[in-house]
């Protein structure tokens, strides 16, 4: 029943290597070989086009589109989602020889090799294209995203005519006509297209959200030196290309490179600076050198796990390193469209700890995003008839984007995770000042939500949360979920603790905060009382925490007896059937013990 | 907090009377003054047109359209709903004098009176139209639907020119261009339009479901005798009219009537028979005479409740009297578009008892509908990963049409209500034969569903239903709802009881049924065991049934403290908030005790 992991790529301590292209893995490889630099991300698709399975995905952190969802007349259900929007293909390149077009789905080729070098973050790929008449052209591609100046990226191509001399036609440029796969259509308007000598640029604007991306590219390389036969501009509705005809001499390698600059926003003045390809690449590699010196984890004697842990570290830095306020960590990073590029409570729970230990500025910026989006969380609380702030389950801009109400309305863990994140940050950094300034406004509003969303049981002896979905999403709507109640309790306690330290250390600041937030001592007393009476389902005899009230009496399911064809269950089981037994999907009580492990030492 | 009923209509033992038209009540009055004869229904809208609030609703039992709902990737969620479709306006009539068009929203009028006579089911309406120049035309409308031959209806108009002699222009005919209000568009194609002397007809076909309605009307009346000046045909895309110009003499009443014949289906041969207006009206009144002799309930000394109870009886017969197999009782009868004309478990629970006592054939036909749609209920069970038959919460054709999965997937009461209906039918009629033939196939499949949908608790001592919504829809997803468990138990017991009597009384029939349904004694033993171990939450000490496990410990809400502006709660409270306390929306334990009152006599 357990998923068995495929081992498709070579095991190597510093690289992900694919030898011999297998089209069955085309989409997976595009994801695995994605590059990102927080500002933008691009999937590992083939620059030269490919008529097989592909998702030409190019994303900018924070550039999103919105979509209406079927209106519901019920309060608290959202009517609009936001998703990171598939954007310009800035690697667009097509190669043609005497009318024969290169396409790895149709063409003959040999010696295919692809490598992502995690030390430098350069993705390279090479193979020999065997034309129908037997001519052979060796192609060596590479690409990278600059970590020094995140607007830049580079694309390199070295061509060697192995057994002939003759012409090659290259069309290269910028393509905004890409479709967003999840909605099946293109979502860009292109207003400005410009072409110049060995350069072109294009400005795209999203249709509903009116966000812009300005993309420009500059071509270089040895091939221009004395092999250029012809240069032509091709301008379409949402695409601009340069078409070059070059002459190749047998066995003489020729390079064709481009520097790209992408800018969120539409300020053409920012396009003037132009950087050198090799310089950009070197600078970026140096950035990675520093990161690896500080962040590497070595696992000697286990090359597979060595590769795995480095890939994780590599992805963390690629996706986010705190370069920009307002950028987020999407559930799939910048590698595809799944989960709509939205950020979840996974950010504070699983990602934030990495940055707390490796990159404090990044950690602060992640928490800052929640302060910036506090107004949206307050709006969301109001929509859910709560006081304070209810953080969204899934978001890009701060607004709730999860269209499943049972998740969006019943999961309190996004809000408590933010409080947890602040506490964890303080525990490690001892940075009390940041907590007073950035953490406190959040903590107060989350505590207010927690004090209004819960309820006292019928005889008013216990406080708890009713109608919630805990971390385990296979229990849809339960009462007194242990995790939710516990997180509520510790959030109240931590908020009160921060407030009391603030009062001690900065009486004036404290008093003005009390006034600013309209905080009364009654409200604080109430939080204290709720924390004290929070119901934590625990059996003294068995020493077991119960996941929620009644969990232990639920019908038991032996998951090893579920046929493997039934997985994933969401696709094969009636939706409600998933929720009627003791099967769990995510750790729940265990998660609580992990997060607050100091409290559960026995 | 309680709703206070308006008293807008006159109190009268046999009639609903409106004196002086109040536009604020226009839509309510259209509903109240609806007519129906099971086959078709028409709202009490103004024949002569009206530019104020109106819903020109004309419905045929079983004629529906379908609509896609936003696809869900989860199993068991429906992707299409079906709704009774607004159809031909067969009362279409416009009146014009010298370019001035009658419209009660714009015109001057006096002495307005509308009366629905429940003794005859004739709806009449009269007023005096005061033209801008002071001319007065008295108008007396009436309409009825035939109870003798349900295809027929009649419309009558008597015009009296009170203070002038002169011409009047009447456009009358059939209009399929009506919009269906819930979807905001017209849903008919019209292929055939025919006009003849003093008659016209039109055939409409629904766009998605391809169901047809053929409508014809024949004009009569004194006005044709020697006052006709001109006759003209007006044929539009979905509308056919006759335009008559008549001469009216001062103080001489003239009648203009029409007989209409509407036929579900598209067989033009059925149009040949034509009936006389007065004859049709008399026959229908006689039908009602008989019904009132048999079904009347007298409440002496309380005219308001006398009117109320008669209106209920009147509506029951109008909506359904078992004339056709395959027709249903929509939640709002044939009076409007709310609840999509779908039938709910209310049919067997609240309506069927009326017919069991008043009209056994109608009762049988209602149960027959569930036998006819057993295949769809089996499909639905499969979609919900259950064996047997899972009856839809809302349906016209037998397919589930409730797009709220939490209702459609979690409510077992539609299925148990059918079993209850069969049992109730047998209790009163002692008609064992019908139960063996029509009831048994249903009972077996419902029992199979009940045996697969439930589960044993963790230590396997109790059987029950997990993740259900009982009759009380303010508890969305609970375990061991008392009503659901109890209904499951008695359904098993009754099915086994019927089977054992069948075996005793018709051994051959029984044996062939066992084989036909692939029923083994193991399966029957299992049902018996499940019935025996069905968990009924009951406290021996307090002698209270608990609505569901944990209900008594839920946070208490004092409903008298909810501000009246918060109602209806579904519109003003966050959806999930409704489900987090002990407030109930419908009787649940009480319903169980009502249905099986012989078991709860103490």
Neighbours of A172 (CB within 10 A): 22
Q: Does B602 touch chain A (CB under 8 A)?
A: no
d(CA A421, CA A407): 21
What's the first-to-final CA gap in chain A, in angstroms?
Answer: 32
Find the closest chain B residue to A556 by CA distance.
Answer: B458
d(CA A344, CA A414): 7
* Residues A571, B457: C-beta atoms closer than 8 Å: no
Chain B: closest CA distance from residue A393 (Å): 15
Domain final residue pick, B258, B291, B324? B291
Chain A: closest CA distance from residue B306 (Å): 38
Q: Considering only CB atoms, which chain A residues are within 8 Å of B77?
A: 575
| In a domain? residue B478 | yes
Which CATH number belongs to the domain containing residue A503 in this structure?
Answer: 1.50.10.10
List the 351-390 stretch of B: residues with Cβ below 8 A of A: 383-386
d(CA B524, CA B447): 10
3-state SS, residue A590: helix
d(CA A534, CA A488): 8
Domain final residue pick, A291, A320, A341? A291
Q: Does A410 touch chain B (CB under 8 A)?
A: yes
The DSSP secondary-structure symbol of B148 reads: S
What's chain A's average pLDDT? 95
Instruction: Nearest by CB to B575, from A409, A576, A581: name it.
Output: A409
Q: Considering only CB atoms, which chain A residues are within 8 Å of B576?
A: 76, 384, 405, 409-410, 467, 477
| In a domain? residue B79 | yes
* Residues B75, A409: C-beta atoms closer than 8 Å: no
The DSSP secondary-structure symbol of A290 reads: H
Assess whether B432 and B565 both reside in one domain. yes
Chain B: closest CA distance from residue A378 (Å): 15
d(CA A201, CA B294): 86
- B278-311 pLDDT, tens digit each: 999 999 999 999 999 999 999 999 999 999 999 9
Whether pLDDT at A329 is above 50:
yes
d(CA B493, CA B487): 10
Assess whether A275 and A402 both reside in one domain. no
Q: Does A549 touch chain B (CB under 8 A)?
A: yes
Assess whether B152 and B273 both reside in one domain. yes
Instruction: Nearest by CB to B553, from A70, A386, A458: name it.
Output: A458
Instruction: Nearest by CB to A76, from B459, B556, B576: name it.
Output: B576
Mean pLDDT of A145-155: 95
Assess whether B392 and B287 both reside in one domain. no
pLDDT of residue A1: 45
* Residues A574, B70: C-beta atoms closer than 8 Å: no
Mean pLDDT of A351-369: 96
Mean pLDDT of B404-428: 97
Run of H or E residues at A160: strand A152-161
d(CA A119, CA A115): 12
Q: Does B542 touch chain A (CB under 8 A)?
A: no
Q: Considering only CB atoms, which chain A residues are within 8 Å of B81?
A: none
Run of H or E residues at A173: strand A166-175
Assess whether B417 and B280 both reside in one domain. no
ipTM of the complex: 0.89
Q: Are A295 and A313 in contact (CB under 8 A)?
A: yes
Q: Are B292 and B119 in contact (CB under 8 A)?
A: yes
Mean pLDDT of B403-420: 96
Chain B: closest CA distance from residue A332 (Å): 20
* Residues B74, A383: C-beta atoms closer than 8 Å: no
Q: Does B455 touch chain A (CB under 8 A)?
A: yes
Q: Considering only CB atoms, which chain A residues are within 8 Å of B385?
A: 573-574, 577
| In a domain? residue A312 | no
Compute the Cα dihedral for B531, B534, B537, B538 and give only its sign. positive
Any idea which residue has 């419908």 for tokens?
B586
- A426-451 pLDDT, tens digit each: 999 999 999 999 999 999 999 999 99
3-state SS, residue A84: strand
Instruction: Nearest by CB to A581, from B455, B553, B556: name it.
Output: B455
Instruction: Nearest by CB to B476, from A77, A477, A577: name it.
Output: A477
- B431-448 pLDDT, tens digit each: 999 999 999 999 999 999
CA dihedral A351, A353, A356, A359 (to 10 degrees): -40
d(CA A328, CA A401): 14
d(CA B229, CA B244): 7
Q: Considering only CB atoms, which chain A residues are within 8 Å of B479?
A: 550, 554
Run of H or E residues at B444: helix B440-453
* Residues B571, A479: C-beta atoms closer than 8 Å: no
Q: Considering only CB atoms, which chain A residues are within 8 Å of B556?
A: 458
* Both tokens assigned to A159: 């061509």
d(CA B402, CA B570): 17
Residues B314, B319, B321, CA angle at the centre, nearest 5°? Answer: 85
| In a domain? residue B501 | yes
Probe site for chain A from B386, B410, B484, B575 (most A CB atoms < 10 A): B575
**Predicted confidence band of residue B69 (pLDDT cuts 50, 70, 90):** confident
pLDDT of residue B3: 59
Whether pLDDT at A4 is above 70:
no
* Residues A574, B69: C-beta atoms closer than 8 Å: no
Domain final residue pick, A260, A291, A322? A291
Whether pLDDT at A262 is above 80:
yes
Cα–Cα distance list, B598 to A164, A560, B587 (Å):
98, 46, 18
Q: Are B458 and A554 in contact (CB under 8 A)?
A: yes
Q: Are B456 and B485 in contact (CB under 8 A)?
A: no
Cα–Cα distance list, B190 to A365, A483, B214 (Å):
64, 61, 10
Whether pLDDT at A273 is above 70:
no
CA dihedral B522, B523, B526, B532 (to 10 degrees): -120
Assess whether A285 and A388 both reside in one domain. no
Cα–Cα distance list, A132 to A98, A162, B97, B172, B448 (Å):
11, 15, 86, 77, 65
Q: Considering only CB atoms, which chain B residues are within 8 Å of A476?
A: 467, 477
- A309-328 pLDDT, tens digit each: 999 999 999 999 998 888 99
Whether pLDDT at B1 is above 70:
no
Residue from A9, A13, A11 nearest A44 by CA:
A9
Cα–Cα distance list, A512 to A352, A415, A503, A523, B98 (Å):
30, 25, 10, 16, 78
Q: Are A57 and A48 in contact (CB under 8 A)?
A: no
Chain A: closest CA distance from residue B211 (Å): 28
Chain A: closest CA distance from residue B378 (Å): 15
Q: Does B410 touch chain A (CB under 8 A)?
A: yes
Whether pLDDT at A2 is above 60:
no
Q: Are B35 and B315 in contact (CB under 8 A)?
A: no
Q: Does A509 touch chain B (CB under 8 A)?
A: no
- A158-194 pLDDT, tens digit each: 999 999 999 999 999 999 999 999 999 999 999 899 9
Which CATH number belongs to the domain containing residue A275 in this structure?
Answer: 2.70.98.40
Q: Does A544 touch chain B (CB under 8 A)?
A: no
Q: For chain B, count helices (H), then strands (E).
A: 17, 23
For B208, list phi and psi in degrees, rounded to 5: -90, -40
| Buried/exposed A229-249: b ≥16 CB within 10 Å, e otherwise | eeeeeeeeebbbbbbbebebe
Residues B523, B526, B528, CA angle at the centre, nearest 5°? Answer: 115
pLDDT of residue A69: 86
Q: Are B527 and B495 in contact (CB under 8 A)?
A: yes
* Residues B466, A552: C-beta atoms closer than 8 Å: no
Mean pLDDT of A277-291: 96
Probe site for chain A from B576, B579, B580, B581 (most A CB atoms < 10 A): B576
CA dihedral B96, B100, B105, B111 (to 10 degrees): -70
Q: Which domain holds residue B158?
A: 15-291
Mean pLDDT of B126-137: 98
Mean pLDDT of A57-83: 91
Chain B: closest CA distance from residue A43 (Å): 26
| In a domain? residue A220 | yes
Instruction: Nearest by CB to A455, from B384, B385, B580: name it.
Output: B580
Chain A: closest CA distance from residue B544 (Å): 16
| In a domain? residue B297 | no
Q: Does A455 touch chain B (CB under 8 A)?
A: yes
- B78-103 pLDDT, tens digit each: 999 999 999 999 999 999 999 999 99
Whether pLDDT at B383 is above 80:
yes
| Buried/exposed B385-407: b ≥16 CB within 10 Å, e otherwise | bbbbbbbbbbbbbbbbbbbbbbb
What's the first-to-final CA gap in chain B, in angstroms?
Answer: 32
Q: What single string gives the DSSP state of each residue in B544-572?
A: EE-SSTTGGGSPP--GGGS-GGG-SHHHH
Residues 6+ apart with CB under 8 A from B503: B510
Find the closest chain B residue to A477 by CA distance.
Answer: B477
pLDDT of residue A536: 97
| In a domain? residue B337 | no
| Buried/exposed A464-482: b ≥16 CB within 10 Å, e otherwise | bbbbbbbbbbbbbbbbbbb
Chain A: closest CA distance from residue B343 (Å): 22
Number of structural domains chain B divides into: 2
Q: Considering only CB atoms, which chain A residues are within 8 Å of B458?
A: 552-556, 582
- A530-585 pLDDT, tens digit each: 999 999 999 999 999 999 999 999 999 999 999 999 999 999 999 999 999 999 99
Chain A: closest CA distance from residue B60 (Å): 28
Assess whether B449 and B573 both reside in one domain. yes
Find the closest chain B residue to A553 by CA distance.
Answer: B458
Assess whether A381 and A235 both reside in one domain. no
Whether pLDDT at A333 is above 50:
yes
Mean pLDDT of B521-537: 98
d(CA B31, CA B19): 16
**Predicted confidence band of residue A380 (pLDDT cuts 50, 70, 90):** very high
pLDDT of residue B45: 98
Find the closest chain A residue to B553 by CA distance.
Answer: A458
| In a domain? residue A318 | no
Assess whether B27 and B155 both reside in one domain. yes
Residues 6+ apart with CB under 8 A from B283: B146, B147, B148, B149
Chain A: closest CA distance from residue B553 (Å): 5
Instruction: Nearest by CB to B579, from A459, A467, A552: name it.
Output: A467
For B396, list phi and psi in degrees, rounded to 5: -115, -50
* Residues A75, B573: C-beta atoms closer than 8 Å: yes
């Amino acid at each position: 029943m357990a998923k068995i992991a495929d081992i498709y790529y070579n095991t190597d301590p510093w690289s992900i290597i694919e030898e011999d292209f297998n089209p069955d893995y085309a989409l997976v490889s595009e994801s695995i070989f994605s590059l990102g630099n927080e500002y933008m991300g691009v999937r590992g698709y083939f620059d030269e086009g490919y008529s097989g399975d592909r998702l030409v995905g190019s994303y900018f952190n924070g550039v999103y589109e919105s979509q209406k969802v079927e209106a519901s007349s019920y309060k608290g259900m959202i009517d609009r989602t936001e998703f990171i929007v598939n954007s310009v293909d800035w690697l667009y390149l097509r190669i043609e020889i005497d009318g024969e077009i290169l396409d790895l789905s149709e063409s003959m080729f040999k010696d295919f090799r692809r490598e992502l070098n995690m030390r430098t973050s350069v993705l390279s790929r090479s193979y020999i294209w065997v034309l129908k008449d037997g001519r052979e052209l060796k192609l060596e591609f590479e690409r990278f995203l600059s970590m020094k100046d995140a607007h830049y990226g580079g694309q390199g191509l070295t061509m060697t005519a192995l057994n002939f001399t003759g012409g090659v036609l290259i069309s290269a440029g910028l393509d905004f006509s890409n479709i967003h796969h999840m909605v099946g259509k293109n979502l860009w308007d292109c207003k400005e297209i410009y072409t110049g000598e060995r350069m072109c640029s294009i400005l795209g604007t999203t249709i509903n959200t009116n966000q812009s991306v300005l993309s420009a590219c500059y071509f270089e390389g040895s091939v221009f030196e004395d092999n250029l036969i012809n240069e032509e501009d091709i301008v379409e509705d949402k695409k601009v290309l340069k078409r070059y005809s070059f002459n190749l001499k047998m066995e003489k390698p020729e390079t064709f490179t481009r520097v790209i600059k992408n800018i969120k926003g539409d300020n053409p003045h920012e396009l003037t600076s132009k950087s050198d390809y090799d310089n950009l690449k070197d600078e970026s590699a140096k950035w990675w050198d520093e990161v690896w010196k500080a962040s590497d984890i070595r696992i000697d004697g286990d090359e597979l796990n060595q590769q795995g842990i480095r890939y994780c570290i590599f992805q963390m830095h690629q996706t986010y390193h705190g370069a920009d306020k307002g950028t987020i960590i999407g559930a799939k990073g910048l590698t595809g469209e799944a989960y709509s590029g939205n950020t979840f409570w996974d950010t504070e729970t699983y990602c934030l700890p990495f940055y707390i230990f490796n990159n404090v500025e990044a950690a602060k910026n992640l928490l800052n995003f929640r302060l910036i989006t506090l107004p949206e969380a307050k709006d969301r609380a109001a929509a859910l008839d709560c006081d304070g702030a209810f953080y969204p389950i899934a978001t890009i801009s701060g607004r709730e984007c999860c269209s499943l109400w049972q998740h969006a309305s019943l999961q309190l863990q996004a809000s408590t995770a933010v409080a947890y994140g602040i506490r964890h940050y303080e525990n490690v950094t001892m940075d009390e000042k940041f907590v007073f300034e950035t953490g406190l406004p959040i903590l107060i509003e989350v505590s207010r939500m927690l004090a209004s969303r819960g309820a006292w049981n019928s005889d008013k002896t216990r406080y708890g949360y009713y109608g919630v979905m805990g971390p385990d999403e296979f229990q849809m709507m339960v009462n007194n979920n242990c995790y939710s109640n516990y997180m509520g309790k510790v959030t109240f306690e931590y908020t009160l603790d921060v407030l009391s330290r603030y009062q001690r250390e900065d009486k004036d600041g404290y008093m003005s905060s009390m006034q600013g937030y309209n905080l009364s001592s009654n409200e604080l007393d109430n939080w204290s009382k709720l924390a004290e009476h929070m119901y934590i389902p625990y059996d003294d005899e068995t020493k077991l925490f119960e996941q929620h009230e009644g969990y232990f009496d639920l019908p038991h399911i032996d998951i090893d007896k579920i046929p493997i064809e039934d997985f994933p269950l969401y696709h094969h089981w009636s939706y409600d059937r998933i929720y009627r037994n003791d099967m769990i999907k995510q750790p729940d009580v265990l998660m609580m013990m992990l997060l607050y492990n100091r409290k559960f030492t026995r």
